[in-house]
Chains A and B, each alone.
Chain A
């Protein structure tokens, strides 16, 4: 600890605390440009100079640590004139074109000059200009380098946080311009984090160009509606249009970062395709008529012939009320929250990932000696989680192990990257466990054990080498603490969950601290399960009467056994892995009610369509993958006659039971707190509280341990693929795209502008072998379906693996799948062959 004096005030801080942080802690504001807590300090802008007694020169407080006994002055006249001087130089070449700058009104340079600046400038020389006109740097960035203050935050965020490293500072001194290689158009992650960190109007949002002034915007502090990382963001509107989403420094686990989907994808709420009135058999109707029709459709039907599917993009309150409606009013246990994987897979995953044991912070995981990421293409699926992993892993000694069939951006931070065959998570994990267990034997015994065991089979099934597995096992064995980050592949190929559970137990038995964190691809998937939207458990994973999941409901519908189905926000036809089956089955449902914001494929078959609300038009809570319950806030008015989903679900309940409720979101949350012990402490207040000291880990928001014990799930049939295939044949895998996730992104103008049409990704070597080049059109042909897609090559992916993202309308990837057939094989040929 060091005791120092700041402006005469004595405070004690940890050794090595930066003077800047110490001063802020003591309550003194020091202006900065280049300093940002999450980035490497470069001390380049000199805005933060302070006086240290006994030292002749002023020192930059953002890179100078305190020393015991230091006496520091942050607001002497010397400091004040130094600040003014720095600003005078920053303005020497600055364009001072605030009236036409999009940053005007929220510009750090404006604010600083206003507060500390010189009132006049003495520079008489003509100003240096990098260029005359603003230039477009990517589909989302427009740039004016003449306003730059050379803080290098853009370059650093792109390198250190995003990991893309496509920005650099060209030139030197005041002629230094942060931009792309040779100022060329960028083909990057499009997350706009460079825009967000830029203190001035240098990196600017292209979609928001000249749309508004900050003071004309109205904002709401909310949560991103895409993946389950659960990034905090402020969405802002003007004249009823959502104009932008931005993150805030030091707020939420994401601080100032977002990914392309979050930052640029929320414009889907403005879409002209929103459903704005109730429809009965696709004819406009009043709410009274629509509800009467729902009443008719459900009246007199037995619970076992009724079903409900509610999307994992709804709020906890809505999901809770939905399952309550299904279970208590309709007497139906047939409820599910996903059409992509079956409910047993979900149970097994929840069990293997210990989700019932309460929330696990990603920041805690990143304190482990070894972090193993498996079953997740985290770079594309949960980009901001990936940023956190990159940032922290580069700052401490630890092992980062990534096991995935596909190469990813995070590989460059990994100590070990294992490329295994698709759907082979179980084989990989079992092989690791085997080697760890063998580690307890003598050398000779070990060899024998490995020889006798199914090791060879496992290695073949996984398509990996014994050395790679041994290396991973060694690193795990040598660690005191291990964190396993397990992704959605475990839900697609649930046989992996037993491998996960086993490895977890083995490591625990060796006395290691083991945490498992799930990564999920719907903003409230975890909430949906914890609210009990699942056919075998109720809120808080409490045992419930077993019902049918989406798959079983479709099978029953096929047999003509489903009288009424209530679908909220889920597009079963687009998401179920076997499109034709889903469509036929749903067309046999006697009464189908779909509540949604867009006319989905499923909605097209509905008898009654109820227009719901987007995340920006309602209040409630999402629980992210870590188990952080965070509230979303209403910003916009509902379009047309649309209603909030909570109100619609309650209205449906009231048709049959006038007392059905609770009657509003706050009361529903109260009931959740009582019914679900995991949520007994959650509050609408704490989770949107601003963290003053960049304290990103708001642990109070983590849900608690469930009361009941979740039973281990049974074994699942393996769906692994063999590596032996014909020349043009590939194993097809799917998942989220960096720019697209679920269905909302398909209605986002900006995101659709980033990528035109479907892509299929294979590894470079395969492309070379077949004579394909990146960017050409290819035909992907499976047993049941074929699509034309643009070929993308990746470096370092497993050979013979083709990836088509889930969310493209022109490549309905679920048509390649057939129920019960596992990973499909496809052939890839030139489009014109």
Chain B
């Protein structure tokens, strides 16, 4: 169930769009935030009801983007390392491995204390500062081992 607060936020968001269904991405973002980082079935159903869409359409929109985590709870910090071409050329593979080592989890996993979830994503549109990653809503760019250490230290 969406919280009343999330419902209100979605209602407010609706005003920005020419029709209700256009707000689907925004509504899903709000819903995901509301749940603390992922989406459950009921969230998609609630969004569908509010936007007068069929649940499967909302499901399809959510499943298309890696930024929505359908039925996959994530830790407090969701680390998404880009592994697309520019980042790869500049060592994304290495950053991912280093990340796995530092957090002591494999890609796709969450630390036992529920603090970090590590995943890889496609191009985040920040190729000029590759390699890069996103943690929750923030970008971290021009990554090196040292930088990664600092970032993680701040978050632990």
Asked if B60 is at the interface of the complex by the 8 Å CB criterion, the answer is yes
CA distance A170 to B41 in the complex (A): 13
CA distance A583 to B126 in the complex (A): 81
Query: Would B59 and A181 count as touching, CB distance under 8 A?
Result: yes
Known contacts A170-B59, A181-B44, A182-B41; is A165 also within 8 Å of B54 by CB? Answer: yes
Q: Which residues on the B side are within 8 Å of A172 (C-beta)?
A: 63-64
Q: In the complex, what's the smallest C-beta–C-beta distance from B65 to chain A, in angstroms?
A: 8
User: Residue-by-residue, is A149-171 near B (CB-CB < 8 Å gives 1, otherwise 0)?
Assistant: 00000000000000001111111
CA distance A166 to B54 in the complex (A): 7
Asked if B57 is at the interface of the complex by the 8 Å CB criterion, the answer is yes
CA distance A593 to B60 in the complex (A): 59
Asked if B56 is at the interface of the complex by the 8 Å CB criterion, the answer is yes
Asked if B55 is at the interface of the complex by the 8 Å CB criterion, the answer is yes
Known contacts A165-B54, A166-B54; is A182 also within 8 Å of B64 by CB? Answer: no
Tell me the dominant secondary structure on chain B's binding face. helix
Q: Place the interface of chain A in its size category.
A: 10 to 19
Query: Would A181 and B56 count as touching, CB distance under 8 A?
Result: yes
Q: In the complex, what's the smallest C-beta–C-beta distance from B80 to chain A, in angstroms?
A: 16
Q: Which residues on the B side are within 8 Å of A170 (C-beta)?
A: 59-60, 63
CA distance A165 to B60 in the complex (A): 12
Asked if A180 is at the interface of the complex by the 8 Å CB criterion, the answer is yes
**From B63, which residue of chain A is reached at the shortest CB distance?**
A170
Q: Which residues on the B side are within 8 Å of A171 (C-beta)?
A: 63-64
User: Residue-by-residue, is B46-57 near A (CB-CB < 8 Å gives 1, otherwise 0)?
Assistant: 000000001111
Q: In the complex, what's the smallest C-beta–C-beta distance from B123 to chain A, in angstroms?
A: 13
Q: Which residues on the A side are within 8 Å of B59 (C-beta)?
A: 168, 170, 181-182
Known contacts A181-B44, A182-B41; is A165 also within 8 Å of B64 by CB? Answer: no
Q: In the complex, what's the smallest C-beta–C-beta distance from A187 to chain B, in angstroms?
A: 12
Query: Would A168 and B41 count as touching, CB distance under 8 A?
Result: no
CA distance A180 to B60 in the complex (A): 9
Q: Place the interface of chain B in its size category.
A: 10 to 19
Q: How many A-B residue pairs have CB under 8 A?
A: 31
Q: In the complex, what's the smallest C-beta–C-beta distance from A283 to chain B, in angstroms?
A: 57
**From A158, which residue of chain B is reached at the shortest CB distance?**
B56
CA distance A182 to B63 in the complex (A): 10
Q: Which residues on the A side are within 8 Å of B55 (C-beta)?
A: 181-182
Known contacts A181-B44, A182-B41; is A169 also within 8 Å of B54 by CB? Answer: no
CA distance A767 to B56 in the complex (A): 26
**From B40, which residue of chain A is reached at the shortest CB distance?**
A182
Query: Would A165 and B63 count as touching, CB distance under 8 A?
Result: no
Query: Would A180 and B56 count as touching, CB distance under 8 A?
Result: yes
Q: Which residues on the B side are within 8 Å of A165 (C-beta)?
A: 54, 56-57
Q: Which residues on the A side are within 8 Å of B54 (C-beta)?
A: 165-166, 168, 181
**From A175, which residue of chain B is reached at the shortest CB distance?**
B63
CA distance A172 to B64 in the complex (A): 5
**From A169, which residue of chain B is reached at the shortest CB distance?**
B60
Q: Which residues on the A side are within 8 Å of B57 (C-beta)?
A: 165, 168
Q: In the complex, what's the smallest C-beta–C-beta distance from A771 to chain B, in angstroms?
A: 21
Q: Which residues on the B side are within 8 Å of A166 (C-beta)?
A: 54, 56
Q: In the complex, what's the smallest C-beta–C-beta distance from B116 to chain A, in angstroms?
A: 25
Q: Which residues on the B side are within 8 Å of A167 (C-beta)?
A: 56
CA distance A372 to B63 in the complex (A): 40
User: Residue-by-residue, is B23-39 near A (CB-CB < 8 Å gives 1, otherwise 0)?
Assistant: 00000000000000000
> Of residues 40 to 90 in B, which have CB atoms within 8 Å of A's CB atoms?
41, 44-45, 54-57, 59-60, 63-64
Q: Which residues on the A side are within 8 Å of B56 (C-beta)?
A: 165-168, 180-181
> Of residues 404 to 449 in A, which have CB atoms within 8 Å of B's CB atoms?
none
CA distance A168 to B63 in the complex (A): 10
**From A170, which residue of chain B is reached at the shortest CB distance?**
B63
CA distance A166 to B44 in the complex (A): 14
Q: Which residues on the B side are within 8 Å of A169 (C-beta)?
A: 60
Q: In the complex, what's the smallest C-beta–C-beta distance from A131 to chain B, in angstroms?
A: 15
**From A165, which residue of chain B is reached at the shortest CB distance?**
B54
Q: Which residues on the A side are within 8 Å of B41 (C-beta)?
A: 181-182
**From A172, which residue of chain B is reached at the shortest CB distance?**
B64
**From B62, which residue of chain A is reached at the shortest CB distance?**
A170
CA distance A181 to B59 in the complex (A): 6
Q: Which residues on the B side are within 8 Å of A181 (C-beta)?
A: 41, 44-45, 54-56, 59
Q: Which residues on the A side are within 8 Å of B64 (C-beta)?
A: 171-172
CA distance A172 to B62 in the complex (A): 10
CA distance A171 to B61 in the complex (A): 8
CA distance A170 to B60 in the complex (A): 5
Q: In the complex, what's the smallest C-beta–C-beta distance from B64 to chain A, in angstroms?
A: 5
**From B54, which residue of chain A is reached at the shortest CB distance?**
A165
Q: In the complex, what's the smallest C-beta–C-beta distance from A301 to chain B, in angstroms?
A: 62
Q: In the complex, what's the smallest C-beta–C-beta distance from B61 to chain A, in angstroms?
A: 9
Q: Which residues on the A side are within 8 Å of B63 (C-beta)?
A: 170-172
**From A186, which residue of chain B is reached at the shortest CB distance?**
B56
CA distance A168 to B54 in the complex (A): 9
User: Residue-by-residue, is B1-41 near A (CB-CB < 8 Å gives 1, otherwise 0)?
Assistant: 00000000000000000000000000000000000000001
CA distance A660 to B22 in the complex (A): 70
Q: In the complex, what's the smallest C-beta–C-beta distance from B35 to chain A, in angstroms?
A: 15
Q: In the complex, what's the smallest C-beta–C-beta distance from B84 to chain A, in angstroms?
A: 13
Q: In the complex, what's the smallest C-beta–C-beta distance from B154 to chain A, in angstroms?
A: 33
CA distance A169 to B59 in the complex (A): 8
CA distance A165 to B64 in the complex (A): 18
CA distance A269 to B49 in the complex (A): 43
CA distance A171 to B64 in the complex (A): 5
Q: Which residues on the A side are within 8 Å of B44 (C-beta)?
A: 181-182
CA distance A182 to B41 in the complex (A): 7
CA distance A532 to B76 in the complex (A): 78
CA distance A569 to B72 in the complex (A): 58
CA distance A167 to B54 in the complex (A): 9
Q: In the complex, what's the smallest C-beta–C-beta distance from B86 to chain A, in angstroms?
A: 19
Q: Which residues on the B side are within 8 Å of A168 (C-beta)?
A: 54, 56-57, 59-60
CA distance A41 to B57 in the complex (A): 19
* Residue with the greatest number of chain B CB neighbours at <10 A, chosen from A165, A166, A167, A182: A182
CA distance A172 to B63 in the complex (A): 7
> Of residues 164 to 196 in A, which have CB atoms within 8 Å of B's CB atoms?
165-172, 180-182
Apart from A168-B59, A171-B64, A181-B59, list 6 A-B contacts with CB within 8 A: A165-B56, A165-B57, A166-B54, A166-B56, A168-B57, A182-B44
23 A-B pairs whose Cβ atoms sit less than 8 Å apart in the complex: A165-B54, A165-B57, A166-B54, A166-B56, A167-B56, A168-B54, A168-B56, A168-B59, A169-B60, A170-B59, A170-B60, A170-B63, A171-B63, A171-B64, A172-B63, A172-B64, A180-B56, A181-B41, A181-B44, A181-B55, A181-B56, A181-B59, A182-B44
The 10 A-B pairs at the shortest CB distance, nearest first, are namely A168-B60, A168-B56, A170-B63, A181-B56, A181-B55, A165-B54, A171-B63, A181-B59, A172-B64, A182-B41
